[in-house]
Amino acid sequence: MPEAATLPTVEDAVALGLTRAEYDLICEKQGGPPNQVELAMYSLLWSEHCAYKHSKKLLRTLPTEGPSVVMGPGENAGAVDIGGGLVCAFKVESHNHPSAVEPFQGAATGVGGILRDIFAIGARPIAVLDSLRFGETTSQRSRYLLDRAVAGIGHYGNSIGVPTIGGEVYFEGPYEQNCLVNAMALGIARREDLVTSAAVGVGNVVLLFGASTGRDGIGGASVLASAELGEDDDKRPTVQVGDPFEEKKLMECSLELLQRALLVSLQDLGAAGLTSSASEMASKGKVGIDIDVAQVPLREADMEPFEIMVSESQERMLCVVEPTDVDAVLELCEKWEVSGAPIGTVTDTGQMRVFKEGALLGSMPVRALVDDCPLYDLQPGKPTGTTYPAPQALLPPQINPRRDGSGEETVAQSANELLLALLCSANVASRRPLFEQYDAIVQSRTIRRPEQADAAVLAVQPLDGGEHEAVPAIAVSIDCNGRRVAADPYTGTVAAVLECASNLACVGAEPLGTTNNLNFANPEKPHIAWQLTESVRGLGDACRALAAPIVGGNVSLYNEGATAGPIYPTPVIGMVGALPDARRAAPLGFVREGDTIALVGPFAPSLDASELAKLWGHELPDGLPAVDIAAVASAQAAVRAAVRSGAVASAHDVAEGGLAVALAECCLAGGVGARVALEDDALERLFGECSGGFVVSGEERALMDMSEQTTVRILGAVEGRSLRINGQIDLSLEELAEAHSALAELFA
């Protein structure tokens, strides 16, 4: 039994985020009240961030199996087969609350954490993408968070030598106090080299290597991400501090240890530190683990045992090693100038035990710690009126509609003015000022950089500059429009999945698997529970229809402030696909004058929850038009086949801002104009949004071949130095470019 001491009370448990009922259950599992070390460990592993206690039941409804899936949910990252004996590992995770408190380190350590998830399963990281949400650009706070978060992402990725190849950023009022920083990483490994995190082999040594352990990050991600963010809380001490150069050494050391078959299993240390990593390894292996905190290398000598167990110091890995290999592991750690120390043993007790120099400080059943946290049933309730009871005032109208004598709105602006207003709006303007802060080409794999194509494209093998018959590649996209999910959680989530798949189709890639980061507010509130439930239902339906199963992901709840209210529901979707030849990956920009332009797919646009509706100051509608997933999937297949065959010269899906914005983006990316004739001049046709529209260019006969699978409408031709649509829009490339560069002033 642990040494006798004054035991914490139920009030102490509540202060750590547990409920009274959960404390009672812990006492039952323990056979008595927990001591300080035990309570600290339970409080973290039973937190929302670690236990998923309000979402796990929903997540079990998602599709997780498919012919390409090699490693699914439950490991550090998922992996899909990309051919040639290789797999692509990928995952997305959030660092929202830490980034709201300290944006540079919050974003930087978010990148570091997701990279460790990739090399923890034996894959070499080859790319990072990010998905960001901030308040309106008129807010000084949002501009500060944007600047520092982007700097943190660039600092970590650029320093460690992993390219940041894409991403997205949106600016909306509901993210003012709770910004979102989601990071996605990809890696490549030989299939036979993958390793799991399950601790096995009674008597094997548990070894910690990497950076030393300090007080930074104690209770950080797990506590910050498990409760609403108080606007007056000073929580900077709980934000982890990252060192990308230390992580680079750690990554190379880990990969060489695995390549030399010196490790039985490997796990990174993230939220809840040693507590989470050791307990989860024991749970997966159905064993016990003993840890001696006196053996943990420390930066601060006076750390308490519970602090050592829950510290979230960065750049650390935990591994299981056979006793005969310990010296070889430590020798390799020394080669890479990485600290390494045996700190424990795998046992057959089924207990997670904490010692200090032989004295037992805590003993907990592994099953109780990891598997027996109570799971809660959500109590969803669809709100009346609008689906999103926005707590903040809407952004003042950026375009003021004129009203006629009857009070009906009429368009006060010309179509030219509307298009320019959309192009310079924060959610449509070029993201180049952000991407220019990231190295997108290090490692020599990048085929399509940000804003060159709808999806990022990476060669499976680094390019050597020589001629190749074909360049097998993977493509990746990350996306979500939170405003549309707020208007209709089911349809908005379906649209986010379809948007990712459409981006892949535009470069000729077929989806293999999906990851997700479900960013929502307080699930204990009925309308948030309803949003989460409907969103997961849409995610499952869309992934099943596209045969793109979920291989892993993350849930971030309680993104809500005491006075600022909830964020928009934001289920960020990341999708990976494969294409046989990267040289055929279509750019989004028009390529040749004289090419025919066509609109492909079941395009039925609506202004509901669109960017134009936001600029007009419209409230969110109560629902969106239904999406025909099968019809959109058929259009994606047609575009994908046309790109692979070389039948189209460019491909770009219609997204925010509608068809007119998509055409303008094609002109700007290609440096050439277009003449277009539409069926009608309705604003919905020009600026409405929906899933399933693609702007493609090429020879007319080749474009019309797609009509066997989907709708094809000839729009016009690539020509000149301006965009002309139906005589309503006539703008030069220079005018379009000036409007589209509006975000540059944020980084001036």
Q: What is the pLDDT of residue 385?
A: 59
Q: What is the pLDDT of residue 449?
A: 80
pLDDT tens, position by position, 103-119? 999 999 999 999 999 99
pLDDT tens, position by position, 248-294? 999 999 999 999 999 999 999 988 899 999 999 999 999 999 999 99
> Is residue 153 scored above 60 in pLDDT?
yes
Question: What is the distance in angstroms between the CA of the first residue and the CA of the last residue of the chain?
Answer: 62
In terms of DSSP bridges, do strands 729-732 and 78-83 run parallel, antiparallel, or are they unpaired? unpaired
Q: How far apart are CA 450 and CA 434, in angstroms?
A: 10
Q: Which residues contact 369 (CB under 8 A, 6 or more apart)?
A: 41, 42, 45, 279, 283, 352
Q: What is the pLDDT of residue 220?
A: 45
Q: What is the pLDDT of residue 222?
A: 44
3-state secondary structure of 729: strand
**How many CB atoms within 10 Å of residue 508?**
30
Mean pLDDT, to the nearest integer, of 159-176?
94
- Our answer to whether residue 54 is catalytic in this structure is no
pLDDT tens, position by position, 284-327? 999 999 999 999 999 988 899 999 999 999 999 999 999 999 99
Mean pLDDT, to the nearest integer, of 141-153?
94
Q: How far apart are CA 345 and CA 367, in angstroms?
A: 18
Query: What is the overall mean pLDDT for the chain?
Result: 91
309 within 8 A of 292, measured Cβ to Cβ: no
Q: Is the pTM of this model over 0.85?
A: yes
373: pLDDT confidence band, cut at 50, 70 and 90?
very high
Enumerate the β-bridge partners of residue 717.
596, 675
Q: How far apart are CA 577 and CA 512, in angstroms?
A: 5
409 within 8 A of 401, measured Cβ to Cβ: yes
> Is residue 411 scored above 80 in pLDDT?
no
- Our answer to whether residue 49 is catalytic in this structure is yes
Q: How far apart are CA 574 and CA 94, in angstroms?
A: 13
Per cent of the chain over pLDDT 70 is 92
238: pLDDT confidence band, cut at 50, 70 and 90?
low
55: nearest Cα among 428, 481, 535, 444: 535
pLDDT tens, position by position, 189-221? 999 999 999 999 999 999 999 999 998 777 544
Q: What is the pLDDT of residue 563?
A: 79
Mean pLDDT, to the nearest integer, of 156-179?
94
In terms of DSSP bridges, do strands 550-556 and 722-725 run parallel, antiparallel, or are they unpaired? unpaired
Q: Which residues contact 548 (CB under 8 A, 6 or more apart)?
A: 66, 497, 501, 511, 512, 513, 514, 575
> Is residue 747 scored above 80 in pLDDT?
no
Cα angle, residue 648 at apex, residues 647 and 650 outer, rounded to 5° = 160
Q: Which amino acid is at 363?
A: S
> Is residue 95 scored above 80 in pLDDT?
yes
Q: Which residues contact 260 (CB under 8 A, 6 or more apart)?
A: 328, 332
Q: Which amino acid is at 337?
A: E
In terms of DSSP bridges, do strands 560-561 and 650-653 run parallel, antiparallel, or are they unpaired? unpaired
Residue 85 is classified by DSSP as: T
pLDDT tens, position by position, 673-708? 999 999 887 899 999 999 999 999 999 999 999 999
Q: How far apart are CA 195 and CA 76, in angstroms?
A: 10
Q: What is the pLDDT of residue 219?
A: 53
610 within 8 A of 426, measured Cβ to Cβ: no
Q: What is the pLDDT of residue 559?
A: 94
594: pLDDT confidence band, cut at 50, 70 and 90?
very high
Q: What is the pLDDT of residue 231?
A: 44
Residue 71 is classified by DSSP as: E
DSSP E strand boundaries for 66-171: 69-71, 78-83, 86-94, 124-134, 164-171
336 within 8 A of 209, measured Cβ to Cβ: no
108: nearest Cα among 241, 279, 275, 290: 241
Enumerate the β-bridge partners of residue 402.
410
Q: How far apart are CA 710 and CA 705, in angstroms?
A: 10
pLDDT tens, position by position, 486-517? 999 999 999 999 999 999 999 999 999 999 99
pLDDT tens, position by position, 564-590? 889 999 999 999 999 999 999 999 999
Cα angle, residue 655 at apex, residues 170 and 582 outer, rounded to 5° = 100
- Please name the fold of domain 1-64+195-373: Phosphoribosyl-aminoimidazole Synthetase; Chain A, domain 2 (3.90.650)
Q: Which amino acid is at 654?
A: V
pLDDT tens, position by position, 351-371? 999 999 999 999 999 999 999
List b or e across 56-88, with b for residues whose CB sees 16 or more CB atoms inside 10 angstroms.
eebbeebbbebebbbbbbebbbbbbbbeeebbb
User: What is the crossing angle of helices 415-423 and 733-740, to 10°?
Assistant: 40
Alpha helices by DSSP H, 601-708: 611-615, 629-645, 658-670, 683-687, 700-704
> Is residue 389 scored above 70 in pLDDT?
no
Q: What is the pLDDT of residue 561?
A: 82
Q: What is the pLDDT of residue 239?
A: 72
What is the helix (H) or strand (E) element at residue 178, kind and residue range?
none
Q: Which one from 49, 54, 155, 652 is the annotated catalytic residue?
A: 49
112 within 8 A of 544, measured Cβ to Cβ: no
In the numeric block, the tokens 């599709």 are attached to 63
Q: Which one from 54, 95, 97, 652 is the annotated catalytic residue?
A: 95
